[in-house]
Amino acid sequence: MSAFSTFDIAGSALSAQSLRLNLTASNLANMHNVAGDPAAVYRGRQAVFQAAQDPFGSVLAGVDVLGVIESTAEPIERYDPGNPQANEQGIVYASSVNAMEEMANMISASRSYQSNLEVINTAKDLMLRTLSLGQG
């Protein structure tokens, strides 16, 4: 048993939440992309989280990112013959990323990041105090 596993646990959450923030940034940056082919349109990306299992039997081991999934929502069809990317019928396909959902996701990720950072800071303080136990 080591008190330092708190840092591993909270650290895994920091990296998971920052991945989520990066994906939100990517989704927001690409939400206005259009394409003439529905298959080529940008699809929103989301991280999938799973509670990590410690291989040595202890039940506590932070969070794992299983992977990144792409949204299966249908792209939005729009008639825009002036667009250079429109197909022969004058149709462009726009990404179905929802800005409101992404903003809510961003706030959730940043709050979680903050609370895990707080966990690390507190644990660091306590460990430093423990190290100086009995001095002075």
Partner 1 sequence: MESIMGVHEAALLFRARRMEVLAANLANADTPHYQARDLEFKSVLDERLGAATLKTTNSRHLAIDPLASRDSLKYRIPHQPSLDGNTVEADLELARYAENAVSYQASLLFATGKINSLRAALTGGR
Q: Give which of 27, 25, 29 is closest to 44, Cα–Cα.
A: 27
Question: What CA dihedral angle connects 94, 99, 101 and 106, to 10 degrees?
Answer: 130
12 binds partner 1 (CB under 8 A): yes
Using the rule CB under 8 A, give the single segment among 24-32, 72-80, 81-89, 117-125 that binds partner 1. Answer: 117-125
Q: Which is nearer to partner 1, 70 or 125 (CB)?
A: 125
Give the one residue of 36, 49, 94, 101 binding partner 1; rule: CB under 8 A. Answer: 49
Q: Give which of 96, 100, 79, 97 is closest to 88, Cα–Cα.
A: 79
Write the DSSP assignment of 11-30 as a string of letters: HHHHHHHHHHHHHHHHHHHT
CA 9 to chain centre: 17
Q: Which is nearer to partner 1, 22 or 87 (CB)?
A: 22
Q: How far is the CB of 38 from partner 1 (least distance, A)?
A: 29
93/38 Cα distance (integer angstroms): 6
Q: How far is the CB of 20 from partner 1 (least distance, A)?
A: 8
Binding site for partner 1 (CB under 8 A): 1, 3, 5-6, 9-10, 12-13, 16-17, 20, 49-51, 58-63, 108-109, 111-112, 115-116, 118-119, 122-123, 125-126, 129-130, 133-134
